[in-house]
Structure 1
Amino acid sequence: MTVIGIDKMSFFSPHQYIDMVELANARGEEPNKYLIGIGQTEQAVIPATQDVVTMAANAADEMLTASDRKEITMILFATESGIDNSKSGAVYLQRLLGINPYARTIELKQACYAGTFALMQARDYVTLHPKEKVLVVASDIARYGLQTSGEVTQGGGAVAMLVSANPMIAEINQDNQFLSRDIMDFWRPIYADTARVDGKYSSNVYQDFFKAVWQRYKEKSGRDISDFKALAFHLPFTKMGLKALRDVLPEANDEQQAALLDEFEASRVYNKRIGNLYTGSLYLSLYSLLENSQSLEAGDRIGMFSYGSGAEGEFYSLTLQPHFNSGLVTGQIESLLANRQYVSIPDYEKIFNNQLRGPEDRVIDIKDDGAKFTLHGQKNEQRQYVCN
């Protein structure tokens, strides 16, 4: 049987960040509330020169070869920060990245969960069409508003994944279990550009969904916690995933409990410094695990918990392939983090309020943004993208 899964992965987040200690001080909070209680140390700042389309393009461009661009026959764009209520962000990507014009281009939405659904649709499509490839991007900007309870869990960026037969990174196993319920823990009305959230309730729902789909997964698959080398979680803030992991740790022996905790720490190295990616959060966690774990080997099974408020949860597994690290862009995130520019809290607040919104024509100065793809402004209510 042909193996289908994630062949390549790539990541992008903008060139600016704030320090969580400084944000805590500015908001009159004890820094350890953010550093330990929330589990975040830094947060990506999204300038006006970047949106979900440019971030997705910057992420995908680094991993795609000329051959990939010809062989991709579907682009699935997962986001809850879409720029248009009609036109798919995937259509912009097709042009910006020079992808085969005979590809389908679709945008998907279900809070933070849509990236997982996109990945499963890609797997199933390539299973039927093993000579073709699908580009999956999960790109988002988490916005809750200045001086709100959710401000500490903002962030943004994009994860791009190429799904193919005979993948380098991981097989996507056919063992998914999922759960959906109509719950108002987090939402963003069509007229709003910041989210509404009941934080404590949402955290409780997240844990309840994890326990429910984990239990169903065990019943349906016959597997238990001893079958997993690591568990990766959707991490809107990294402490949330740790709480979920602790709910199931008693099912493991002492040695495996310690090992699972070590792998979890590896999986949240990057999320601690980027913040919330919504649809891309789980997959940045996977990227972090693959790059920072000291013990992963080919054949290891990785458990994946995806959650999207409103609400939908899913648990499935990946099986690592013999050359899994070869599918990652070498040194990409390390370089990105090393070259980011520190931003003071007052400057961050100005940037936050300077996003492109409304119908007016506008030109945005892009000279300080070194990314390949940037947003140069808007003309006649059409966003103007630039390839630098």
Structure 2
Amino acid sequence: MAVRRDRPEGARSGDRRNENMMPVGIEAINVFGGSACLDVERLAVHRQMDMDRFANLLMKEKTVALPNEDPVSFAINAAKPVLDGLSPDERAKIEMVITCTESAFDFGKSMSTYVQDLLELPRRCRLFELKNACYSGTAGLQMAVNFVLSQTSPGAKALVVASDLSRFLMEEGGDALTEDWSFAEPSSGAGAVAMLVSDTPYIFQVDVGANGYYGFEVMDTCRPSADTEAGDADLSLLSYLECCQQAFLAYQDRVEGADYRATFGYLAFHTPFGGMVKGAHRTMMRKFGKVAAKDIEADFVRRVVPGLTHCQRLGNIMGATLPLALVSTIEHAEIEEATRIGCFSYGSGCCSEFFSGVATVDGQARVRSLGLKDQFDQRYALSMEEYETLLRESGVVKFGTRNATPHAGTISGVCKGTSAGPRLYLKAIREFHREYEWIA
């Protein structure tokens, strides 16, 4: 069963163009959550963090990238199952590959070239990369949506892959690096989400024209050098909250009658950590819903928590986090009929967007068939000693590495395929060029 193709509820009334707009959105989707993970409560105890404050993160695990895993290997392992489900004719319709990341390892060469090559996609294809902190995945999705809507190449599809990782090396010194910023380590994860965007949006039909944008210059978090991170936790929270409110107000200006409480069956947020989302939702309910505290908590559990489930296990995967929250929402929601999901995307620095779309019973069945929980359960659980060792060994593949042969460190048997097929890992770096291998 395909998704509804009628005018989505809440779209601008009186806009004949919107009423007759072709369907567009996510045809297929997949998540790759890495090969290894860490219990973040154990990390917090090890780092002697304030455990009362740690509890506010609402985090359980984080994916930890091995030295022989990088944004390309994550991207391919997310995208390959999507493409394996296509016929040769359908694969040939992919005319655009967009990689979305803040973890790239080259100032010029786009990771999308590796993705196209390793997935054996057509060479008659636009290949490019987007960097916009954690907003990049949404930027890629919206660019792909508008490419399909343009109909400059009728029937064409776009592959959007958001892939990010943090090996968590903090920039030394500076007033902004307070103790608060140390809480970023438990929440900084790794992962990738691949989205096939087309005019047959089985997973998520985007509400065309229902977008609210808001952005301004702010130094809340950044990567001042390629492999390090820095930030001001308080400023980041304030910026996130301001953007959430203002982007939704911009959405309301475009969508007549849009109501934060009533319009959306569920809400998917960019999730740096669950506590930030909970605070943002509470603020939105007070400002736009004028709701009592007990009712806000119940609404959070019903409409927002489904989208946090996978984020609590992978951590903040930057540009891929909002797509991950959307997948989690569709998988864990109670969907009995076409259901509208409101999405809030935020990228530090900053740019934000509130948009929406519709998920169906059929789309939920497709997402559930991915078996994401089983994939995450099969990750290798690192000890603290192994985690610390991996942090040291990850320097082998830092930005600008000319020649190296990375491996999985002291952990044996982690790099392997699954019943679904082999997985891709970084094999070597030779004169800056990265070489990969499939391991069954």
The residue aligned with 1:25 is: 45
Say whether 1:348 aligns with 2:387. Answer: yes
Larger radius of gyration: 2
Alignment partner of 1:187 out of 222, 238, 242: 222
For residue 328 of structure 1, give the secondary structure of its aligned residue in structure 2: helix
Which deviates the most, 12-21 or 366-375? 366-375
Distance 1:177 1:327 in 2: 29
Task: Please point out which of 162, 167, 170 is paired with 2:201.
Answer: 167
Q: Determine the structure 1 residue equivalent to 2:340.
A: 301
- Equivalents in 1 of 2:232, 2:371: separation in Å? 35
The code of the aligned residue for 1:107 comes to E
Stretches of structure 1 lacking an aligned partner (at least 5 in a row): none
SS of the residue aligned with 1:158? Answer: strand
User: Is 2:117 aligned against 1:95?
Assistant: yes
- Secondary structure (helix, strand or coil) at the match of 1:40 reads coil
Aligned residues: 385
Tell me how far 1:127 sits from its aligned partner. Answer: 1.0
Matched with 1:145 is 169
Cα root mean square deviation, aligned = 2.0
Worse overlay, 191-200 or 19-28: 191-200
Q: Quick one: distance in 2 between partners of 1:212 and 1:192?
A: 31
Aligned counterpart in structure 2 of residue 85 of structure 1, from 107, 111, 126 = 107
**Would you say the 8 A contact 1:298–1:323 is kept in 2?**
no
TM-score of the superposed pair, with normalisation by structure 2 = 0.83
Structure 2 distance, partners of 1:266, 1:221, is 25
Worse overlay, 340-349 or 136-145: 136-145
Structure 2 residue matching 1:201: 3-state secondary structure: helix
Structure 1 residues 39-76: Cα deviation after superposition (integer angstroms, max 9, x where no partner): 11111110011100110100010121243422211001
Aligned: 1:11 with 2:46? no
Q: Report the alpha carbon displacement of residue 326 of structure 1 after superposing the two structures with TM.
A: 4.1
2 CA distance for matches of 1:21 and 1:299? 38
**Who is 1:361 aligned against?**
403
Q: Which residue identity does 1:351 align to in structure 2?
A: L
From 282, 297, 322, the counterpart of 1:246: 282
Measured in 2, the distance between the counterparts of 1:66 and 1:31 equals: 51
Are the structure 2 counterparts of residues 77 and 325 from structure 1 closer, same or farther at C-alpha, using a change threshold of 3 Å?
A: same
- Normalising by structure 1, report the TM-score: 0.94
| Distance in 2 separating the partners of 1:142 and 1:368 | 19
Displacement after TM superposition at 1:285 (Å): 0.7
How big is the shift at 1:321? Answer: 3.9
Q: Distance in 1 between matches of 2:359 and 2:368?
A: 17
Cα separation, 2, equivalents of 1:62 and 1:352: 29
Q: Quote how far apart the aligned CAs of 1:204 are.
A: 1.1
1:256 shift after superposition: 7.8
Shift of 1:340: 1.1
Q: For 2:336 and 2:131, how far apart are their aligned partners in 1? A: 34
In the other structure, the counterpart of 2:11 is none
User: Are positions 1:132 and 2:168 aligned together?
Assistant: no
Partner in structure 1 of residue 130 of structure 2: 108
**Residue 125 to residue 243, structure 1, CA distance change in 2 (3 Å):** same
Q: Residue 161 of structure 1: SS of its match in structure 2?
A: strand
Cα deviation digits, residues 270-312 of structure 1 (max 9, x gap): 111110100011111111111112x224421111100000000
Deviations 1:155-209 (A, max 9, x none): 01000101011210121112111112111111112x3411111111101110111
Which segment is superposed worse, 248-257 or 56-65? Answer: 248-257
The answer on 1:46 being equivalent to 2:65 is yes
Greater shift in the superposed pair: 146-155 or 317-326: 146-155
Q: 2:29 and 2:428 mapped to 1: Cα distance?
A: 29
| Larger deviation, residues 312-321 vs 356-365 | 356-365
